[in-house]
Chain A
């Protein structure tokens, strides 16, 4: 996984919107990105759990990333995407408002996360990356998915 390079490490992030906030996840953590599929609602589950879906025979818990991060719930729409990540030997789907570009970032340009990014709690983030127009919060998947 580690490349033998002398310069700063180059990392790739898949970026997406939760409300107005632009966030990224290390692309290597992502299994796949799905469109809306049939989600089976799980009554009595935590409010951030949208339900479960069948991903080729695996039961995947789908999480409303907006709610999970303490924002307003993801609004349903055509651009909704389900980002399937693997965490603790389990596949989990993260429902986001819409998906954006893949960001190629040099590791030394990622700065430490402030306490608060656009209303999001800083502790969920590994850092932030500044582009000309945007500030992208790099999410730490494992922290976010803690129960």
Chain B
């Protein structure tokens, strides 16, 4: 039966959980100290178990009582040093307490939950530690009789023996719930804890059987029986409790009998009666005796089929309200402890609020503007303070999450046979309750990962010369209004190569993509969906949820994840979290008639492009509109188009026009959106139209309105420009959830209420990006990362190159390195022949195959013209013509290649030349796309023709140049060993120096530059016979001198193909 006084039960649950929360750490310390038992600590745990047991007995929670009892027993034996806490015993205790916690969390079902397994283990432990003759006592039950020979309790013999051994006396205390507890203004729980100061409660229960049958008169007493063991001698026993001496009986040996010997009620029967009457007899209902037992509640009749509508809805409602039967999941916390002084502050502020309101009302009725202003100011002030105070009530220390990790790490380390020392810093850092709850799982996952995958086994660590005990450090600290949480281990670290291999195996990315990734990016591969680093899935970390879930969950909280890792020395994962989620600063924007909020964390800047600059700032490249922002290209998304909002909709008053709206929306769909119309002018024009109709109706001079407003937003590390109609203020908004019917809209993160009382939607910028199909987030994260690295490299230096500029459509500018071009011919379109599905032109007695860029890549075709230019390349020993529309032009320029934004097959990237975005054509790839066969066959021919293949070690950090140079060198029959910097080149050299014939290196590279590489090569006896040729974009005298000093044999200009080939030939022949 379960005691059904909610309040008492709730109190019991809370108290018990509080007890339990400290137990875990205590037990871990106990385990650590081993035989060197800290009695105080054991006592702590003992007392906790004991209090739980005490309350459980009183409330009829038999399952909890029994489990707590056996736990307590073992702790008691530890305390008296009859048992030494070995790890296995502590493990069993921990398991036992876990189960206990589960029971307490599911208190309603606690009696039905199976705890047999735990009991058997615990009993076994107890038995093992007992001397032989006492072993039987563990399982023998004894009845305790009262003075009348009635059985009142059944206890385990061992308990009696243990207490007798300690020289304690056993007493039977008989409280009366009504006279001794209720009337004295105390509660049963208080009585129990009072008693525990002077002894040990073995058992307790309310003897409902003694109340009498329910039909008889109102009972005058409800006995509450306690079996109590204490050192207090019988003479002074009455001082034990605040009850009459007659109610205290010392239990003598005669009163302890074997079961079934005593007369009296069978336990079952008692419990049955109790079950029915308990709710009525429950203490402390305020009304005294008179109300005590109401008529027995009739069995609930089956719901009669009365009215047809009622049962259905009632049943449905009941269904909805009924808590789900499986309560195993830790339910979110429903109550919260708040510091009393904080509560006082709140009360105070609430009072201030009321006062200010009264002042405001008064001032309004007096029509006194000055007083109104004062009142408003006061309300403003009080509200801010109130907000802050209330936020503080929600703040909880991160220790709530951290505290569970010692146990997690211990258990895990044990099962993985690892030795781990967990340290935690910054436990006192406070975070909003909802965030605390939400980070618990991701954090656990990360910690488990560190232990499982990060830290090596002691053998391995030993072999590596590390301390056999691995270290895991959990650290929380405030920084710049955010909370950082770090999980650091000194384990094996993440091996970028292994990660790449894995990603490749799983088909998540292809080789080329991986090739272009930085080490840091490769670390982040673990966050890709479907990626798991464990070679085999263990039951520890491989539980079907991967790191991608961790990332998703943290993203939801607005958190950021960062990884630093070094192979062999460990991994550091840093999470940045906002302090709170409830109130956020945000930028208000307007599209159509509605306002939207963009969270400030997602906003990086606001742009306003005046009409006069539209043409030059906004470009359309490869089907997407981009804005040029300080030399970078930023993709644009028009919010109105993404959301399908008619931008000029002009009736904010009511919802009356809904059907009309839909029509407009439909109309709109058939039209192409202004952003997709093509020329940048379209934006300008539409916007002007919009303004003509809305804002500028009265005021035509409002010319600046036709400027374009762009909110530059970041979703993760991905950045894009959101085109909106109007930019408004930035405001602090209160985030409110949207109803369930709108849950599927991925563009919204919630809603908020504006100052005018209207609702505004909060935009989820990541969702908007997805909706606009801008790009998938995973890849764009990557792209951005690459871009950042690229930019960093650019800052250090800019490569110069001679480029040939040409166009197909006048709108799109392309370029190829001029060094690759054989010559340029002008041809008549009429001379082009289409033979065998390919276009050729007769030329110098042969057929020159012609390629048009539009055939292999997504660019606009060449407009109809009479004459075209043919750019002739020599590829794989063959000449190939690339069609272009005149004129073509050559420039010598510094190029900063953005190899991400506009990259596609055949286009290696983009750069800005002469104020125009220029696509860099990868001619090798274009030719390969156009006719793959050329390459397979011809390459082989070439090799056999040249007889000996020379191998070149080629160090170059720019993807673009590396590819181009590699392309034409391979074309000429060389084998290329690529290296992305000097360090990599050096590593390759050491490994494969036998194969290498010559070294070709860029000068400026990260990690190790060309000079250093040359010095190393020339300074090493093994390698100083190698010729080192430096490739540079511009050979300055200063560089030359430096190069000479370091031993560079020759200088070549990048992409001057002929000269380079000649030079290589010279050295190699």
**Residues on A facing B (Cβ under 8 Å):** 8-9, 11, 26, 29, 36, 38-54, 57-64, 73-77, 80, 88, 90, 92, 95, 106-108, 110-112, 126-127, 138, 140-143, 145, 147
Which of B333-341, B740-748, B805-813 lies on the face that meets chain A?
A: B740-748
Q: Which of the listed residues B308, B594, B662, B738 has the most CB atoms from chain A within 10 Å of its own CB?
A: B308
Contacts of A53 in B (CB 8 A): 759
Whether A39 touches B742, Cβ cut-off 8 Å, given contacts A47-B662, A107-B307, is no
Residues on the B chain within 8 Å of A63, using CB: 741
Query: A75–B660 Cα gap in the complex (Å)?
Result: 10
Q: Could you tell me if B644 and A39 are in contact, using CB atoms closer than 8 angstroms?
A: no
Residues of chain B with a CB closer than 8 A to A36's CB:
654-656
Among all A-B residue pairs, the 7 with the closest Cβ atoms: A107-B307, A76-B656, A61-B739, A126-B309, A43-B643, A40-B759, A39-B655
The answer to whether B316 and A64 have CB atoms under 8 Å apart is no
CA distance A55 to B643 in the complex (A): 25
* A92 B309 Cβ-Cβ under 8 A: no
653-681 of chain B: CB within 8 A of chain A: 653-659, 661-662
Stretch in B202-210, B380-388, B750-758 with 4+ CB within 8 Å of A: B750-758
Please provide the chain B residues from 808 to 832 with a CB less than 8 Å away from any CB of chain A in the complex. Answer: none
Given contact pairs A43-B643, A111-B308, A52 touches B738 in the complex (Cβ within 8 A): yes
B771 within 8 A of A: yes
Contact of B309 among A88, A90, A127 (CB under 8 A): A127
Chain B residues in 8 Å Cβ range of A142: 313, 316-317, 320
Contact A92 B739 (CB under 8 A): yes
Interface flags for B285-311 (1: CB within 8 Å of A; 0: not) read 000000000000000000000111110
Answer whether A95 and B308 are a contact pair too, CB < 8 Å, given A54-B758, A59-B737, A59-B751: no
A59–B739 CB distance below 8 A: yes
Knowing that A46-B741, A59-B736 touch, tell me 10 more A-B residue pairs with CB under 8 angstroms.
Answer: A40-B751, A40-B760, A41-B594, A41-B661, A42-B761, A50-B655, A51-B759, A61-B740, A92-B741, A127-B309
Nearest A residue to B310 via CB reads: A107
B residues 309-331 near A (Cβ < 8 Å) are 309-310, 312-313, 316-317, 320
B655 in contact with A95 (CB, 8 Å): yes
Candidates B310, B736, B741; contact of A147 at CB < 8 Å: B741
A10 to B, closest residue via Cβ: B307
Contacts of A54 in B (CB 8 A): 753, 757-759
What are 19 A-B interface contacts by the 8 Å CB criterion? A8-B306, A11-B309, A26-B309, A29-B313, A44-B644, A44-B747, A46-B741, A46-B742, A50-B655, A53-B759, A61-B740, A64-B658, A74-B658, A107-B307, A107-B308, A108-B307, A127-B309, A141-B313, A147-B741
CB distance from A95 to the nearest CB of B (A): 7
- B317 and chain A: residue at smallest CB distance: A142
CB distance from A74 to the nearest CB of B (A): 8
- Which residues of the partner chain A approach B737 to less than 8 Å between Cβ atoms? 59
Q: Which residue of the partner chain A has the closest CB to B646?
A: A43
The closest CB in chain A to the CB of B320 belongs to A88
Q: Do A42 and B661 contact each other (CB < 8 Å), given the known contacts A54-B758, A59-B738?
A: no
Question: Do A61 and B742 touch (CB < 8 A)?
Answer: yes
Nearest B residue to A39, CB-CB: B655
Contact of A61 with B771 in the complex, beta carbons under 8 Å: no
Complex contact A9–B661 (CB within 8 A): no
CB <8 Å contact, A44 and B307: no
Kindly provide the distance from the CB of B874 to the nearest chain A CB, expressed in whole angstroms.
54
- The CA-CA distance from A43 to B736 in the complex, in Å, is 18
How distant is B581 from chain A, measured CB to nearest CB, in Å? 16
B376 to chain A, nearest CB (A): 20
Closest to B660 in A: A76
A45–B741 Cα distance when bound, in Å, is 8
Complex contacts, A92 vs chain B, CB 8 Å: 739, 741
> What is the size, in residues, of chain B's interface with A at 8 Å between Cβ atoms?
44
Give B684 Cβ to nearest chain A Cβ, in Å.
24
- Tell me the minimal C-beta distance from B74 to chain A in angstroms: 45
CB within 8 Å for A40 and B739 given contacts A47-B662, A108-B306: no
Q: Which of B661, B745, B761 touches A40 (beta carbons < 8 Å)?
A: B761
Q: Which residues of A contact B320 (CB under 8 A)?
A: 88, 142
Provide the main secondary structure of the chain B interface: mixed
Cβ of B996 within 8 Å of any chain A Cβ, yes or no, is no
Q: In the assembled complex, which residues on chain A have CB atoms less than 8 Å from the CB atom of B659?
A: 73, 75-76
Q: Which of A11, A76, A138 contacts B655 (CB 8 A)?
A: A76
B652 at the interface (CB under 8 A from A): yes
Could you say which residues of chain B place their CB within 8 Å of the CB of A90? 739-740
Bound-complex Cα distance A50 to B659 (A): 10
- 8 Å CB interface, B707-760 against A: 736-745, 747-748, 751, 753, 757-760
Q: Which of B313, B316, B739 has the most CB of A within 10 A?
A: B739
Contact of A9 among B306, B317, B645, B656 (CB under 8 A): B306
Across-interface contacts of A50 in B (CB, < 8 A): 655, 658
| Inter-chain contact A52/B312, CB cutoff 8 Å | no
Give complex CA distance A40, B590 in Å: 12
Question: Inside 8 A of A60's CB, which chain B residues have their CB?
Answer: 739
- A42 proximity list for chain B (CB < 8 A): 738, 742, 745, 748, 761
Complex Cα gap A28–B44 (Å):
53
Specify which chain B residues have a CB less than 8 angstroms from the CB of A8 in the assembled complex.
306-307
**B743 proximity list for chain A (CB < 8 A):** 147
Contact of A39 among B317, B654, B761 (CB under 8 A): B654
Q: How far is the CA of A141 from the CA of B312 in the complex (A)?
A: 11
Q: Determine the chain A residues whose CB is within 8 A of the CB of B661 once the complex forms.
A: 41
Closest to A126 in B: B309
- A43 pairs with B644, CB closer than 8 A: yes
Across the interface, do B751 and A138 meet the contact criterion of CB distance under 8 Å? no
Q: Judging by beta carbons under 8 Å apart, are B306 and A43 in contact?
A: no
Smallest CB–CB gap between A14 and chain B, Å?
14
In the assembled complex, the CB of A87 is this many whole angstroms from the nearest CB of chain B, namely 9
Q: For B758, what are the chain A residues with a Cβ–Cβ distance below 8 Å?
A: 38, 40, 54
Complex Cα gap A126–B659 (Å)? 30
Q: How far is the CB of A97 from chain B (nearest CB, A)?
A: 12
User: CA of A88 to CA of B317 in the docked complex: distance in angstroms?
Assistant: 9
> Which residue of chain B has the shortest Cβ distance to A91 in the bound complex?
B739
With CB as the reference atom, state the residue of chain B lying closest to A109. B307
Q: What residues on B are CB-neighbors of A73 within 8 Å?
A: 658-659
* Cβ A52 vs Cβ B662 within 8 A: no
Please tell me if the beta carbons of B645 and A43 are within 8 angstroms of each other in the complex.
yes
Residue of B nearest to A106 (CB): B307
* Residue numbers in B under 8 Å from A39 (CB-CB): 654-655
Chain A residue with the shortest CB-CB distance to B746: A44
Q: Do B658 and A138 touch across chains, with their CB atoms under 8 A apart? A: no
Q: Evaluate contact between A61 and B313: CB separation under 8 angstroms.
A: no
In the bound complex, CA of A76 to CA of B662 (Å): 14
A57 with B771: CB separation less than 8 A: no
Bound together, the chains give a CA A138 to CA B307 distance in angstroms of 12
A107 / chain B contacts, CB cutoff of 8 Å: 306-310
Beta-carbon nearest neighbor of A145 in chain B? B741
Q: Across the interface, which residues of B come within 8 angstroms of A110, CB to CB?
A: 307-309
Name the B residues within 8 Å of A11 (CB-CB).
307, 309-310
How many angstroms from the CA of A92 to the CA of B742 in the assembled complex?
12
Which among A54, A57, A140 has the greatest number of chain B C-beta atoms within 10 A? A54
How distant is the Cα of A71 from the Cα of B64 in the complex, in angstroms? 57
Assembled-state Cα–Cα distance A77/B751 (Å): 27
Q: Are A44 and B654 in contact (CB under 8 A)?
A: no
Q: Which residues of A contact B653 (CB under 8 A)?
A: 38
- Whether A76 pairs with B312 at a CB distance below 8 angstroms is no
**With A and B bound together, what is the CA distance between A75 and B653 in angstroms?**
16
Enumerate chain B residues within 8 angstroms of A108, measured Cβ to Cβ: 306-307
